[in-house]
Amino acid sequence: MNARIAPPAMIELNPDTILQSARTVIATEAAAIHALEPRMGQDFVEACRLILACKGRVVVSGMGKSGHVARKIAATLASTGTPAFFVHPGEASHGDLGMILPQDVVLALSYSGETDELLFILPVIKRQGIPLIAITGKPNSSLATQADVHLDGSISNEACPLGLAPTTSTTVALVLGDALAIALLEARGFTSDDFARSHPAGSLGRRLLLHIADVMHTGDDVPRVSPDAGVTAALVEMTRKHLGMTAVVDADQRLLGVFTDGDLRRALDDEGVDLRGAKVAELMTRGPKTIGADKLAAEAAQLMEKHQIHALLVVDDDQHVVGALNIHDLLRARVV
């Protein structure tokens, strides 16, 4: 007969104790990061030089918690202009070593510097002449002494009160990885456009890569009327095209003005205006805000916000109307 397992006892939480614990962790890890700064020297410069000279990719490796940090470092490097990927050291000795080529650089993480899985594959890496950069907390460890460059990630104590769970040590390793990625980014002249190209699905990629031409309405979907059109005709065009405005154009499709919901409201408030007999040219806004099709969609969002408008006409260099868009188009494209 199976014994019933008693439910865990309810743990009483002391808010002051909980908050003090959190603050201690933050203070401990912040102090370790602060202590890391003066250790940045020639070894860091040499690590960057090895990576910049690399004709292949940076292979980042580590076990356990160091492995999780290594994955993040590889992802950060790859997204900031330094081709990189993660290799699990345990899998490496079972075939994945074939992923590491002589033109690569290996970045290995181990706080103790004595991780068996990493040390086991070092002879193969060294035999191929692959440069090795190590991040450890023990400068005299096996991994540190065999590395071409060692980055000192030592700490005085973990944030874990038991001194067991990797906490401060992994934070310091992560900061070292970020420092490498950003130093390399700046050395390469990596730009926001480069970043966007590796993040096309993210909000930043959309903001930096999406152009007006990608989101604007074109052809028959662009509302437009002649200056002689009556207000009723303009309202029908606005209603059909669902953009809350219509362009007013001449016979060559050059922009003369725009007629919007706001223009209509102002006309309704003006007792001197005969809406039945008025021509749209009499009520339109002249010199409206416009944008070019080659501009970024994010620029349209900024223009709309600055001038408190909800739609824009798109014109070419000769002021021909080639498109139109409104704030809903930008929302659908997730630019705003």
Mean pLDDT of the region 95-106: 88
63 or 12, higher pLDDT: 63
Percent of the chain with pLDDT over 70: 91
Q: Residue 317 pLDDT > 90, yes or no? A: yes
If one counts every other C-beta atom within 10 angstroms of the C-beta of residue 201, the result is 7
Could you tell me how many residues make up the chain?
A: 336
Q: Residue 108 pLDDT > 70, yes or no? A: yes
327 or 194, higher pLDDT: 327
Q: Residue 200 pLDDT > 60, yes or no? A: no
pLDDT at 152: 97
Mean pLDDT of the region 83-108: 89
Q: 103, 131 in Cβ contact below 8 A?
A: no
Mean pLDDT of the region 112-138: 94
- Provide the CATH topology of domain 212-332: CBS-domain (3.10.580)
Measuring CA to CA, which residue among 313, 310, 317 is closest to residue 336?
A: 310
- Arithmetic mean of pLDDT over the chain: 89
**Euclidean distance between CA atoms 95 and 73, whole angstroms:** 23
Mean pLDDT of the region 38-62: 96
Element (H, E) at 262: helix 261-269
3-state secondary structure of 158: coil
**Euclidean distance between CA atoms 132 and 4, whole angstroms:** 54
Mean pLDDT of the region 250-276: 86
Q: What is the C-alpha end-to-end distance of the chain, expressed in Å?
A: 62
Q: Residue 2 pLDDT > 70, yes or no? A: no
Mean pLDDT of the region 144-157: 96
For the chain, how big is the Rg over CA atoms in Å? 31
**Euclidean distance between CA atoms 232 and 119, whole angstroms:** 81
190 or 149, higher pLDDT: 149
Q: Residue 32 pLDDT > 70, yes or no? A: yes
pLDDT at 201: 52
Measuring CA to CA, which residue among 173, 310, 262 is closest to residue 181?
A: 173
How sure is the predictor about 43, in pLDDT bands with cuts at 50, 70 and 90? Answer: very high
Domain spans in the chain, listed from the N-terminal domain onward:
23-190, 212-332
Mean pLDDT of the region 191-203: 59
**Residues 6 or more apart in contact with residue 184 via CB below 8 angstroms:** 48, 51, 52, 77, 80, 81, 82
**Which strands make up the sheet holding 132-136, listed edge to edge?**
84-86, 58-62, 105-109, 132-136, 149-152
Q: Do domains 23-190 and 212-332 have the same CATH topology?
A: no
Mean pLDDT of the region 313-330: 93
**Residues 6 or more apart in contact with residue 174 via CB below 8 angstroms:** 69, 72, 73
**Euclidean distance between CA atoms 85 and 106, whole angstroms:** 10
Q: Decide if domain 23-190 falls under CATH 3.40.50.10490.
A: yes
How sure is the predictor about 68, in pLDDT bands with cuts at 50, 70 and 90? Answer: very high
Share of the chain residues as helix, strand and coil, in percent rounded to the nearest 5: 45, 15, 35
* Among 6-20, 90-104, 119-133, 274-288, the least confident range: 6-20
Q: Residue 92 pLDDT > 90, yes or no? A: no
How sure is the predictor about 134, in pLDDT bands with cuts at 50, 70 and 90? Answer: very high
**Euclidean distance between CA atoms 68 and 46, whole angstroms:** 25
Residue-wise pLDDT for 268-299, tens only, equals 887 777 777 888 999 999 999 999 999 988 89
pLDDT at 52: 95
107 or 329, higher pLDDT: 107
Q: Which amino acid is at 296?
A: L
200's tokens? 């096309």
183's tokens? 């130093």
Q: Residue 94 pLDDT > 80, yes or no? A: no
